[in-house]
Amino acid sequence: MPSTNSSTFLGYLHSFRGFAIINIVLIHAVVAALVAIDQMNMSNPIAMANEVLFHDSTLYFAVISGLLFTAILKRRGYNRFFKSKVKNVILPYVFITGIVTIFKALNPDEEASAQPFILTYLEILVRDLIYGKANALFWYIPVLIFLYLVTPLLDYLMNLKRIGTIIGVIIMLAPLLVSRIQMAFDYLLSMQTMIYFTGAYAFGMFIGSDLDRRLGWIRKSFFPILAIAIVSTVVLFYLYIQDIDAYAFMSLNVSLKETAFYVQKICLTGIFIILLQNLGQKQPAWLHRVAKDSFSIYFLHGFFVFGGIPLFMFLLGYQEISPFNTLIGAVVLLAFSIGLSMLIVLGFRKLMGKNSRILIGS
């Protein structure tokens, strides 16, 4: 494992990336397990706990991206920054979307079935690339591309003399009032969602711009931050139990849940980064391995989490051990989807070497 003291490698942040992707896969694994036994509703304690603990874990990725930019990537220049994002994010996104679109075009809706296959394919491809709809979990990629595009503007605004800090604080706090809108199932690009994740990205940029000093502040404030994380989690449970969410603020429709999730995940980001930093060079090797393939796992795991349900129905349907059938089944789906994703990455890496990044992201 590379040294965590390297100027271009932050071992604890790499471990946090692995932690983040496990959170993301786990929430989907639990959902898949509950869907399989027709118990996916918020009155189910497992479904509620899954939502409260793991919803919006993509915020972790947004913070990591922002932190890496100011801590490491900024000094390399924007030209190299954007080239790397095209190679490691956009090209794999296009490749995987292109493959999935073949199957979607073979089974088009009635309106599209009357036209030649190639036109149907291109129509679906362009639409799914814009909206992130090759898979229900791809909605985050258009958001991520937006974050990359606004990086120079954010960097400029947050470094303006006198008012840069104020602007940065406003951007970081905006998600408290500008709530994320669900984009997973609708053909929709929501500016509210872009702003929501921009806040987390800007937070990462702020931390990374003076990494040691600001992580030092988080370390000194560890227990107050932990308390806020716990309170926000309790608040979320209360909101779900009482079925409370939206409220109007001026002309904004604000989701109390999304506000609490933002507070919770930003606090947990600081907590887990410090805990992992405390490990020094003793970062878990297995977590490092998962982190290395994290982006590919994000691209691929949705197909295997939900596609693997029939393979494990013998366990998921074993009601005699309920609710452990759901919990054990979710862990099995988690391991299955991550393991199979990493196996596919390994295959691409064996065939193409470093060039596998342009197709699979790792």
244 three-state secondary structure: coil
Structure tokens at 72: 């490491």
Q: Name which of 21-35, 106-120, 141-155, 222-236 the model is least confident about.
A: 106-120
Check pLDDT > 90 for residue 109.
no
Which residue shows structure tokens 């979307």?
Answer: 97
Contacts of 357 (CB under 8 A, 6+ apart): 87, 88, 92
pLDDT band at 248 (very low <50, low <70, confident <90, very high): confident
Asked whether 298 and 24 are in contact (CB, 8 A), the reply is yes
Specify the pLDDT at position 114. Answer: 66
DSSP state letter for 185: S
Specify the pLDDT at position 112. Answer: 56
Amino acid letter, residue 51: E
Cα–Cα dist 178/172, whole Å: 11
pLDDT band at 2 (very low <50, low <70, confident <90, very high): very low
From residue 114, alpha-carbon distances to 109, 120, 195 in Å are: 9, 9, 40
Q: What is the chain's mean pLDDT, rounded? A: 92
> Closest by alpha carbon to 180, among 162, 197, 166, 164?
197
Check pLDDT > 90 for residue 225.
yes
Would you list the domain boundaries of the chain? 11-360
Which residue shows structure tokens 């946090």?
Answer: 16
Cα–Cα dist 210/228, whole Å: 23
Check pLDDT > 50 for residue 7.
no
Which residue shows structure tokens 């410090």?
Answer: 274
80-91 b/e (C-beta count within 10 Å ≥ 16 → b): ebeeebeeebbb
> What is the value of pTM for the model shown?
0.93
Which residue shows structure tokens 């490491």?
Answer: 72
pLDDT tens digits for range 50-73: 999 999 999 999 999 999 999 999
From residue 313, alpha-carbon distances to 2, 167, 222, 334, 335 in Å are: 41, 52, 43, 15, 15
Cα–Cα dist 138/100, whole Å: 12
pLDDT band at 185 (very low <50, low <70, confident <90, very high): confident
Dihedral (CA of 133, 139, 145, 149) sign: positive
Specify the pLDDT at position 360. Answer: 86
Half-sphere exposure of 318 (CA within 13 A, CB side): 12
From residue 305, alpha-carbon distances to 42, 54, 160, 202, 341 in Å are: 20, 16, 45, 31, 10
